[in-house]
Structure 1
Amino acid sequence: MDGKRWRRSVVVALIVLGFISSFVSHAAFTPADNYLIACGSPHNVTFLGQTYIPDSIQPSVSFKSQLGNSFSATSNSSTPLAVHHSARIFTSTTSYRFDIKQQGRHWVRLHLYPLPRHNLTSASFTVVTEDFVLLHNFSFSSNNGSYLFKEYAVNVTANSLSVTFIPGNGSVAFINAIEVVSVPDFLIPDQAVSVSPTGHFNGISLLALETVYRLNMGGPLVTAQNDTLGRTWENDIVYLHVNSSAENVSVDPMNIKYMNNVSPEIAPNYVYATAENMGEANVVNGNFNMTWVFPVDPSFLYFIRVHFCDIVSKSLNSLIFNVYINTDIALGSLDLSNQAGILDVPVYWDFVARASADSNTLTVSVGPDTTTDDSNAILNGLEIMKLSNDARSLGGLSSVDALLVLPPKKQKTAIIIGCATGAFGVLLFIGLCYFCVVARRSKDAPPGIPWLPLPLYSLTVTKMSTTSQKSGTASGISLASANLGRFFTFQEIMDATNKFDESLLLGVGGFGRVYKGTVEDGTRVAVKRGNPRSEQGLAEFRTEIEMLSKLRHRHLVSLIGYCDERSEMILVYEYMANGPLRSHLYGTELPPLPWKQRLEICIGAARGLHYLHTGAAQSIIHRDVKTTNILLDENFVAKVADFGLSKTGPSLDQTHVSTAVKGSFGYLDPEYFRRQQLTEKSDVYSFGVVLMEVLCTRPALNPVLPREQVNIAEWAMMWQKKAMLDQIMDKNLVGKVNPASLKKFGETAEKCLAEHGVDRPSMGDVLWNLEYALQLEETSSALLEPDDNSTNHIPGIPLTPFDNSVSMIDGGAHSATDDDGEDAATSAVFSQLVNPRGR
């Protein structure tokens, strides 16, 4: 036999052996512990092919109240699921105790539904095990759904497991069904790859996990009947950022070949047999990603498992792509076929990450590897699980001991621990006293956050402070010239913010925390202190200084100065008394804004953006237009803020700037997202989202809403095309808006949200139309719109000549002051607005 045939025989033999070993080792998993409890039910309940036993007759399960009584409740009404037909209601702290046959990971699943006629919707309660807090002060009054299913993975290290329900003050606790089921030890590892910072995260076996998202990409709902571990996998479409970026692909589930220690317990073949494939695979530039966006609690870490199976390739080594978590590359140049040597073989990777630094979301993306000719990527499945925090909690900062009275048999241990803790506290107090004495002897400010120092570059700053001479800057920025604002020492910043007093905290953004401050002359300022763990850093700090030091406009937030001393990165702005626009739209108790004021705010923001796009020889693209970056001063004058992501626009001989995608999900221009080609029209799209947010007073993205309502741009456009925006507008505006004004506003937003940039208006056009909408609101209905939809001159709105001095940015010219030429109705110099044919 020649060498080639011999090697082929060996490969075939290995594959056959792999299948045999796979069959032997991947036999259906049988859990040692499998408790399915129907709480409060008088009889067995069958649900999804499984039988739930009443809690009163299950011999290996007992429940006991510390005080008072528990009672069962049943419902004859049309409850959502069979397991919701009954409940056990507790008037005092009560524990279920489960006998454990095999220690290790277990699912703890809670089914919760407030039965009608029992007033359980307002019930507030906490759920704990011996070691972990699962739910803390939960109430259906704050829950968006009518029923709740919670799944936890808890490592049981004893011969029993207690699940305890603690009613809130004056309330009751309840549960409809509980599942406690063994899980294979290999399902959840002790270690995963940490993302940002990159490294290894150890000790997962000591933590509890809560399933937050479990998705079957490109496929239907997979229920417990089709999963050997009783899991539910939902479809991903609700979380997909751009629907057109993905298309469904699938194969026969029997084609899936489990090998290399991957079994159906990792994920069922129904998950690996479907995938989301790039919707524009093999486009010319291939520079776009599929991205899924997930709202999460930013105070927790998350365990993320990505599932892959190459069901789309015709040959090996033809599918190579990158995997991103937030904006970090988690897997680079991933070639799935290299993992097993054949196609249709499942693989998976585990990561640990936090929410994105500038939002309460976590994103997962796949996209082509630019080093190859291929421009496709897939994702088959995704799991995101919350990790318990340092308090061993999945629901806050309170530990089990703080929430639960210790049982009598543990009281002696508690006394010993208490005495030891007290002795340690005395020693700690003595140490603190010594530290305070030493600290009083030093007048130096506390050390800053350990940023890497800024590299040398050609910026100059105005040296206005007499104390600035005391120490040099960390970045090496020259202090010899002027026009870039004031340099503050770190001590001056400390004095202005009362040592970053948390009571002065205004908010938290992508760059860091923002504090209210007062400088020595009494001027109120906003102080943005960089966070070294933020995704924004040196580049954004430098961009913000470079941009704002050269821009002066009534509708742009002014940069007063900065500090980069003691490895800090701090920006000092003018103080905006009324905060971000978003806080006046939803999420706070602030009074609703009237329609006219909303229009004036939108017009102000449009003026600021219009100045950025046209006020210099080369335009500036903001790249992060959203309602949190539109700030309001004490007179509700709108000003555009946060220029850390801004970028100089294309030159005269270019149509776009090629750059990596940055911005905020929900506001991103889909064309920029797909092509990575940035233009001023990308800001126009984002501003269109802002307009709809102002009208409808809801977030740009809200995944908890029905599918068609998740993305405000898609949802609002559906109503706009029906000429029925009044059906989804803020209820506080109903009957208070001139229909003609609303019509013009809706048309303007619709043009901004056009799919392709060439179809969108300029910010000058947007500004013109918004002022027209305001004019319609202020005048009687006798003022009719023109018959066509052009932006011709509108009677009643004066055109004011444009003052070019306002736009001087490049060196040698005098920069205009904040108020120069800013009250012009629309900067209506643009001849193309008066004569559209001029374009």
Structure 2
Amino acid sequence: MMQVLLLLAFLAIMSGVGTTQAQVFTPTDDILLSCGSSANVTVDDGRVFVPDNSSSSNTLLTAPQGTTVVGSTVQNNANLDYPNLVSSARFFTEKSSYTFKVSSGRHWVRLYFYPFPSGNFTPNASFFSLSANQFTLLNNFSCVAFSSFDKPLVFREYLINVTSPTLVLSFSPQPNSYAFINALEVVSMPSNLLTDDATLVGQQAPQTLGLPGIALQTMYRINVGGASVSPQNDSQGLYRSWEPDSNYIFAAATGAVGSVQFSLIKYGNDPTYIAPPAVYATARTLGGSQTVTLSYNISWVFPVDLGYTYFVRLHFCEIIDSAINQRVFNVYINNQTVLSNFDVIAVVGNPDVVLYEDFAAPMFTGPDANLWVQMGPAPSATVKDAILNGLEVFKMNNSAGGLSGPNPSVTLSSPSTVVAPTGGGSKQNLGVIIGVVVGGVAAVVVLAAFIYYCCSRKPKLAKKPTPPMWLPLPLHGSSSDTSRGMTHSHKSGKSGAGSYVSSVPSNMGRFFTFAELQEATNNFDESLLLGVGGFGKVYKGEIDDGSKVAVKRGNPQSEQGLAEFQTEIEMLSKLRHRHLVSLIGYCDDSKEMILVYDYMSKGPLRSHLYGTKLPNLSWKQRLEICIGAARGLHYLHTGAAQSIIHRDVKTTNILLDENFVAKVADFGLSKTGPSLEQTHVSTAVKGSFGYLDPEYFRRQQLTEKSDVYSFGVVLMEVLCARPAINPALPREQVNMAEWALKWQKMGMLDQIKDTRLAGACNPESLRKFGDIAEKCLAEQGIDRPPMGDVLWNLEYALQLQESSSENFAGTSEGTDALLDNASMDNTFSANDSLSQPGYPQPRANQSVEPSLTFSTEHSLGVSEGTGSEDASAGDIFSQLVHPEGR
């Protein structure tokens, strides 16, 4: 009997070993280079790095003669990883490259940078770019900006799919600078480690992202609830590093950690190198039902670079509970639900079985450059708990093939950034120190003299603020008055404050001097402030002919600048339409950037919907405003030789004049549409969260249908009178478009309309309005109607509303009369295009209900994370602070 028990125990042990034994991955390409070294270097995990000039590494080093040298140091920093590997380096003073003969497929490219002085090379003088085939990995990179005494080694890991016989790493130093590298790896990856079926945050189902053509950078690889995992303890053959999650947990809610023996982890159908057992055998949970409520969650915050989409992989393994429905929870990324009522065991069938879920999170703008991952109990769960074992975050290249992020601020070399070599380099270091000290003293003397000079000058205008340091607008070729070929205008006889006639073509509008706009706004008196946007402040003013104007003055600290300024002028100088705001002129005098518009006395549409004490708009007024805005957008899309895409349609960019006539404003982000032989314009994503077209967001392909989607959000905002994004609301209501569409699909849109409209909306008018808003918000652009059809349906909704107020709806005679009399206001104003393509004209025998076959699919939209969508609800010319994705 004892023998039988021993045999069973032995079999159980062997079975357990079998479940955790890592699958050995043998890379086709395994190139490990120690740059600048003269001999092989073996690191702690047993890998051998060969010299970068070795002929046995399938590597060709190409550099202009005399532009590459090697250096070494005897480091004395105990915090340095791989000290024997990075004690040597290769330096480049001109563009140079490594060419690797590799097989096709995705490869890891791992780079090691350890900044140390050598000869004439001082770390603070190193700025360079690095590309890998068509991808830019680093741009104007300064290693010392990322290095510190605690973490002196700067490590970068990239995942690049190689489709040619070679991989070329090109180093391009800045002028009078140099590039360097200490060590690098080019290693084949398992082909099934990344699959092209992630779920875009805000969507419901996985979809292809085009990963085969995308390069990625590893940003974070986290062992949640566990310790760090070194490369030698990673899944065999992959050599990844995993760090603990403790440094990324937000606030004091850390939950509880749990662990099991590695031998219990089962991989099912997944390869064992997805993540090592050390990751799945540890976890962080909420801590149990005794302390957890529905509002309790655990949050991780990861600083990222804005302007990119991030591939997020979440690792799960239920190592504590053993049955279905014992742990049901939700997971959120950037304040949007990505997993709802999630039960790990219900998915995989058994405890201790690994599971991973992939998501794509666009991060083009936001209140801060942080990616949030949160987990909390599902409302329906009996036990209020959640679990997470690990996560990975990868940056995906942008439309230009770039992966580079900005450098932190760079300071002079100090013990915290550069480790001085020991031995024969002491004289050299002394010279560097003396040079730095002398240079610093000289800089202080020059700065003091400059301050004295500035303070001693008498200001030309006592009340004139210090002009911001804008570059001159290249519409003139120079910002100096003498080079403009200008003459005084006869409109003003005031000395020194007169207007000028510029050599710029007259269709650019009137050129104002800065002094003239100072006078118009009482020196930019804050009592005349109309609003504040990302570009700057907007003031009410009165110019010399008595006209009321809105003066938008650029803020030099804004991230918006010359490009938006010039685009606005060029676009509005070409456009004249009753439903587009009119540009009167501009100023780039005294290094200012100022735009002057017609004054819209009623301000932005949003101010009349919520957030102010302005009188309520009736349903008829709201429909008329939407029709006016639709006409303006329809003119942009069809009224010119080539269409114009607004790209930032929202309620703060729809302004109202004294008669509540709607005019579309803010053309700083506008783009010329595709030509006849094109279907889209490929461009970086810009716009406002809550209004962005998800298809444009995902593919960076802009079309007129992107404006249609944004206008659909505006329609829902007009009906519901709430912000497009409101993080203060419950999670399911944060994104207004997503929330409103759910009610629309249930046929209950009337339940969420503005309470001030109670009893004021004709049901048929509201139904038609909801239908067209739903079609505008279709997930795919091809399923959305053109703006001409949107306009037609809105006018039909208005006629339904007007007929009900006259007790005229509900009879066939009345309906026929509506069409026969063509009372849907199909004629445009004198400033409109009289015959605009795409605008359907009703016929006498046409049915009342337009025959539309658009898809009823909808998009869940995009959440902004935390913070309101706009800084000020009263902005007249609203623009976000961050132009890269406003």
- Name the TM-score, length of structure 2 as normaliser: 0.47
- Looking at CA atoms only, which structure, 1 or 2, has the larger radius of gyration? 2
